[in-house]
Amino acid sequence: MSISTPSISSATVVVGIGASAGGVEALSGFFDHGRFDAALLDVNVAFVIAMHLSAHRESQLPEILSRRTTLRVLRAEQDMPIETGTIYVITPGQVLSVKDKKLQLSPINVIERLPSAVDRLFNSLAEDYAENAIGVVLSGTGADGALGLKAIKERGGLTIAQGEDGSVPMFSGMPRSAMATGVVDLQLPVEDIATRLSSLIASMENASGSGLTKSDALNDGIRQEICALLQIQVGHDFSGYKSNTFFRRVQRRMQVLQIESLDSYLDCLKHTPTEVTLLFHDLLISVTSFFRDSAAFAMLEQQIVPLLFEGKSENDEVRVWVPGCATGEEAYSLGMLLLEHAQRLGRKSPDIRVFASDIDGRALAIARKGRYPSVLLEGVTAERRGNFFVEDRRYFTVQKSLREIVTFSDHNALRDPPFSRIDLVSCRNLLIYLAAEFQDRILPILHYALRPEGFLFVGVAEGATRHSTLFTPISREHRVFRRLPSATPHAPAPLLAKGLGPTIPRHFETGWNDMSSKSLRTQIEARILTAHAPPYVLVNGQGDALFYSGRTGNFLEFAPGAPSKNLLNNARKELRLLLRRGLHEAVETQLLVHLPEAAVHSDEGQRRIQISIEPFDQDNAPLYLVLFHDHGAVTTPPDLPFRGDSQNTEQLQHELHDAREQLQSTYEEFETAIEELRVSNEELMSVNEELQSSNEELETSKEELQSVNEEMQTINTEMSHHVAALDQSNADLRGLLESTRIATVFLDKDLAIRSFTPAATEIFTLIPTDRGRLITDLSHQLSDVNMLESLQTALMKGKPAEISVSRKDSQRHYLMSLLPYGAADERGGVVMTFVDITPLAEADARHKTMIGELNHRVRNMLAVVSAMATQTLQSANTDGSLDHFLDRLHSMARTYKLLTETDWSYMSLSELFREELSVIGSPNRYVLTGPPVKLLPREALALGMVVHELATNALKHGALSNDEGMVAVSWKLMESPNAAIAVRWQEKGGPTVVPATRRGFGSILIERQLAYELDGKSVLDFTPDGLIVSLDIPRLAQAALNKGSTP
């Protein structure tokens, strides 16, 4: 492997890379020399690669990558430390993870149907490196890596997926699944990832080293502006988020966008609404899983859950609320515990309702589906998986019995009215993200939602000890608290119902805490000194007291029990109705309200009290100043219908007092009923939203089913067309085979019969039920043929073969063709066809008979002519003319003999020369050179006479007339339009050649024979060294083709 200068320092940033099919090509592009080394060679980073590798084959990935980069490339080993400048590659057959900055290997779980090696690596990186972890998903099939990226983003890390706008992934399943989760920060072509990583890691190192450069006051101002943008666009207030957590999320978005200052990022938010949404989703990332903190859930199961059912009948309800439920794992975990306990009771148990709420719509959509990958169910026992889930490949879907008891709702615990009459609130890992003032707001809300003796279950890093008047700990170790029954704060809901007036802001406490107590007192006293002198109380629109003046004891009377800040609860009974009506009017009109006098019992006796309520704005927070005017003692009971004696007066006063008490009680009961109705209305709205969501899901499922049904109908129609076309083709083929009357048998590779035509029954004893039998098991009518050997040879060689065969009775003759097909396919075999060639065989026999008879008659005719010539011309043979004539006849006879041996099909040119020259000389007297040439019978007869004349002349007058001369004959095929044969006859070593003074019969015969029979020509050159004859002989076949006639 190629190794750069080694470094012993641990890597600050670790990049986990996941890939599957097509991953080698993607990794090669990622670690390309030119881009990768230039971008990341000097960055403090390490790379850990997880792929789906078979345990039965050694991977060459380390060697491949070492040729692409100068960084160290190592195969992962157990407890290997992660060092900077190193690439670690997963070992085949192992699952790779990280713990305590060291690599951990474990064998692949063979039970898993689909691999999750990438998810496991990413989850461990998130746990070990948190915001210094980077996850990259490259080419691959399936969805491995998607959940791991979610874990990395939950811990503040960066997530990247290979995009499709550059060098597209060979298989896009894994990158698309990662994008579908909505947690991918960047989607880049593989060739651009290294360069972008370099800038991201550099910004991470700068951020960790320098932190925020602005002052806390300026940063807090920018934070408030960002929170305002979030509230305007998404409708949620993040001003109560912990400052460090808030800025850590903001800084992560700045790193992704490569923005260096908060001012620039704020400007980006103002001009880019989509970035506001992305920041909102980043702030909402939460960590959840099934039965997280198993010891705490075990304690719940054993100690708390039985108490929830205690004293409840089948007409009652066990109600659980899970605020901040994220993707629903915690809500389903609690539901499983409740259902299991209900089953153990063995009787009719109370109904079970689990309310799960969150402000993240995407997370709620996942929760409502209730479909989770197997890797997320590691904390669920096999028994619970079987009881509460339905397995679908590597996914598990919540069963109907569990899904029906859990209701998911889009609900803001800080803004919306809480659920009521709750037995258990599980608010885990929500408080840790909230500042102290927001925790002080939400815990009373949770207290109000609980029944008396209800339970609060929070995360391991959370608690309720700061609110000891509301909750008492049951288990400090597992963070379980019980609601104190003596504490009865009023519902933290708006005073005004919807539609009756303006919405009352809920951030009064923040406004109050931000105000200086001394400054506020100075402003109030200045106003009172100029316009009023009576005692006063500063309240908000809900009636909660923010500031008391002195001398309010005659007007206020604190109720027994837990303290309350609400002025309506602390006012004397005679003033409560007036205060409620006056505050309502002041809130609605934002005008000064004067209330009529009322008689109030005090330590000084009955006093005439008149109340004024005046709006008082402070930092845009609407507050109200309640002033108490003491007009002195009551001398005459006001508003008496008549005057009478003291006894009647006292009785009327008692009746009036009782009526007021009854009215006050009735009003309080009415208000309580209204509050319960409002809460019930909110619950019904949540149920309605859930039903609407379910209806939309059903509509979507219906549309999908309709779409699938239409596709199936289309496919079915196409299949019907294909089947009809196949049937038509099969019928046409069957008709073709039957009409040709060619015996055809289809055999498989084992020589078993697949099909046959009716004509095959004339050769083999076949019946329809013989399909599937071996062809060698059947008898046939052929003679002298080894059927098994022929078929096996054809199959083995994979080449067609043809064999002429005959019936045993010799009445019919066939050309048997063996055609193998589909050699690489199990459906292959061999086709046997038998073409009846009986007419051809009989015609061939007749042809041979005729040729034999013709040859016999020609030989006899030549013998007769020779005998007649001898008898007739013997006495006149004074000049050798008879001998010349007989020689020419014998030459013709020899040519006929050669043609007869080839059935008058063709004659070899070399054999023609050899036959003529061998008669007049030994083989060492002549040399023949030239390519093989086959002559037609007509060409052979004509050329034979020419060669005979040349040979006779050489024997008498030329090179063969002595013992030293030789004849060299050569020929070649000319590339001419007539494809002529060029023959060169050259004599050497003979007597000196003297040019002839006259033309003899031989030269005339050569010239005319060639010209007449072969359309050729000859050239005679009488050189002193010997005669040279050049013959130009056009081929008859080509000449006939040029002339358009048959040779």
The three-point CA angle 814-818-821 to 5° equals 150
Which is higher by pLDDT, 517 or 635?
635
Flag the least confident range among 328-342, 442-456, 979-993. 979-993
User: Is the domain defined by 13-209 classed in CATH 3.40.50.300?
Assistant: no
Flag the least confident range among 347-351, 543-547, 632-636. 632-636
Q: How many residues does the chain have?
A: 1047
Is 760's pLDDT higher than 60? yes
Exposure string over 708-737, b if 16+ CB within 10 A, otherwise e: eeeeeeeeeeeeeeeeeeeeeeeeeeeeeb
Dihedral (C-alpha) 247, 248, 250, 251: value to the nearest 10 degrees?
110
> Does residue 693 come out as left (phi exceeding 0), alpha (psi in the -120 to 50 range) or beta?
alpha
User: Could you tell me if 484 and 472 are in contact, meaning their C-beta atoms sit under 8 angstroms apart?
Assistant: yes
Specify the 3-state DSSP secondary structure of 687: helix
Query: Residue 570 burial (CB < 10 Å; 0-12/13-18/19+)?
Result: buried
Q: pLDDT tens, 982-1026? A: 888 888 888 877 776 667 666 777 777 777 777 888 888 888 888
Strand locations in 743-844 (E): 743-748, 753-756, 782-783, 801-807, 813-821, 829-836
Instruction: Give the pLDDT of residue 783.
Output: 84
Sheet harboring 13-19: ordered strands across?
72-75, 86-89, 45-51, 13-19, 133-137, 158-162, 186-188
Determine how many CB atoms are found less than 10 A away from the CB of residue 469. 14
The three-point CA angle 141-142-147 to 5° equals 125
Given 3.30.450.20, 3.40.190.10, 3.30.70.20, 1.10.3720.10, which CATH number is that of 508-636? 3.30.450.20
Closest CA to 434 of 283, 234, 546: 283
Determine how many CB atoms are found less than 10 A away from the CB of residue 672. 12
Specify the 3-state DSSP secondary structure of 335: helix
DSSP string, 531-571: H--S-EEEEETT-BEEEE-SS-TTTB-PPSSS---BHHHHB
Instruction: Give the pLDDT of residue 602.
Output: 74
Instruction: Give the pLDDT of residue 584.
Output: 85
Instruction: Give the pLDDT of residue 942.
Output: 75
Structure tokens at 79: 């407890």
Flag the least confident range among 67-81, 512-526, 722-736. 512-526
Compute the distance between CA of residue 482 and CA of residue 473 in angstroms, rounded to an integer. 6
Q: How many CA atoms lie within 13 A of 941 on its CB side?
A: 12
User: Region 822-849: what's the mean pLDDT?
Assistant: 78
Closest CA to 276 of 207, 325, 323, 229: 229
Q: Which residues contact 1000 (CB under 8 A, 6 or more apart)?
A: none
Contacts 24+ apart (CB under 8 A), 63-69: 63/1, 64/24, 64/27, 64/28, 65/27, 65/28, 65/31, 65/89, 66/1, 66/2, 67/2, 68/28, 68/31, 68/32, 68/33, 68/36, 69/2, 69/31, 69/32, 69/33, 69/36, 69/37
User: Could you tell me if 599 and 618 are in contact, meaning their C-beta atoms sit under 8 angstroms apart?
Assistant: no
DSSP string, 888-917: HHHHHHHHHHHHHHTTTS-EEHHHHHHHHH
Q: Is 478 in the active site?
A: no
Percent share of the chain, pLDDT over 90: 5
Which is higher by pLDDT, 402 or 180?
402
Compute the distance between CA of residue 591 and CA of residue 585 in angstroms, rounded to an integer. 8
Closest CA to 554 of 566, 537, 538: 537
Phi and psi at 608, nearest 5°, equal -90, 115
User: Region 335-342: what's the mean pLDDT?
Assistant: 91
Q: Which residues contact 293 (CB under 8 A, 6 or more apart)?
A: 459, 460, 478
Specify the 3-state DSSP secondary structure of 154: helix
Q: Which pTM value belongs to this model?
A: 0.47
Q: Which residues pair with 159 in a beta bridge?
A: 135
Which pLDDT band, with edges at 50, 70 and 90, does 647 fall under?
Answer: low
Asked if domains 508-636 and 741-836 share a fold, the reply is: yes
Which pLDDT band, with edges at 50, 70 and 90, does 377 fall under?
Answer: confident
DSSP string, 613-682: EEEEEETTEEEEEEEEEEEEE-SS-TT-SS---HHHHHHHHHHHHHHHHHHHHHHHHHHHHHHHHHHHHH
Is 388's pLDDT higher than 80? yes
Instruction: Give the pLDDT of residue 907.
Output: 76
Which pLDDT band, with edges at 50, 70 and 90, does 1039 fall under?
Answer: very low
446 alpha-carbon distance from chain centroid: 43
Compute the distance between CA of residue 509 and CA of residue 674 in angstroms, rounded to an integer. 26
Structure tokens at 566: 């609400």
Compute the distance between CA of residue 955 and CA of residue 926 in angstroms, rounded to an integer. 12
Instruction: Give the pLDDT of residue 670.
Output: 80
Q: pLDDT tens, 129-152? A: 888 899 999 888 777 888 788 888
Instruction: Give the active site residue among 119, 128, 144, 1032.
Output: 144
Is 794's pLDDT higher than 90? no
Please, what's the largest Cα pairwise distance for the chain? 203
The CATH number of 895-1043 is 3.30.565.10
Q: Which residues contact 540 (CB under 8 A, 6 or more apart)?
A: 504, 508, 546, 621, 622, 623, 624
Strands 926-929 and 966-973, sheet pairing: parallel
Mean pLDDT taken over the chain: 77
Which is higher by pLDDT, 960 or 1002?
960
Is 815's pLDDT higher than 60? yes
Q: pLDDT tens, 237-251? A: 777 777 777 777 787
Flag the least confident range among 291-295, 676-680, 901-905. 901-905
Closest CA to 590 of 624, 561, 620, 558: 624
Helix (H) or strand (E) holding 398: strand 395-398
Q: Is 144 in the active site?
A: yes
Fold category of 294-483 in CATH: Rossmann fold (3.40.50)
The residues spanned by each domain of the chain are: 13-209, 225-284, 294-483, 508-636, 741-836, 895-1043
User: Region 659-674: what's the mean pLDDT?
Assistant: 74
934 alpha-carbon distance from chain centroid: 68
Instruction: Give the pLDDT of residue 489.
Output: 46
Which is higher by pLDDT, 405 or 869?
405
Is 636's pLDDT higher than 60? no
Flag the least confident range among 41-55, 749-763, 856-870, 953-967. 856-870
Which is higher by pLDDT, 73 or 431?
73
Q: pLDDT tens, 248-289? A: 778 777 877 777 778 888 888 888 887 887 787 777 766 678
Instruction: Give the pLDDT of residue 225.
Output: 82
Closest CA to 220 of 440, 514, 508: 514
Instruction: Give the pLDDT of residue 88.
Output: 92
Q: pLDDT tens, 550-609? A: 778 778 887 776 677 888 888 888 888 888 888 888 888 888 888 888 888 776 778 888
Is 859's pLDDT higher than 70? no
Instruction: Give the pLDDT of residue 861.
Output: 65
- In the DSSP assignment, the letter for residue 286 is -
Query: Residue 1012 burial (CB < 10 Å; 0-12/13-18/19+)?
Result: exposed
Instruction: Give the pLDDT of residue 57.
Output: 72
Structure tokens at 602: 């005090």
**Amino acid (1-letter code) at residue 364:** L
Instruction: Give the active site residue among 20, 66, 409, 686.
Output: 20
Specify the 3-state DSSP secondary structure of 84: coil
User: Region 614-625: what's the mean pLDDT?
Assistant: 77
Closest CA to 1002 of 896, 880, 888: 888
The three-point CA angle 321-322-326 to 5° equals 150
Q: Is 20 in the active site?
A: yes
Is 784's pLDDT higher than 60? yes
Which homologous superfamily is 741-836 in?
A: PAS domain (3.30.450.20)
Q: Which residues contact 646 (CB under 8 A, 6 or more apart)?
A: none
Instruction: Give the pLDDT of residue 37.
Output: 57
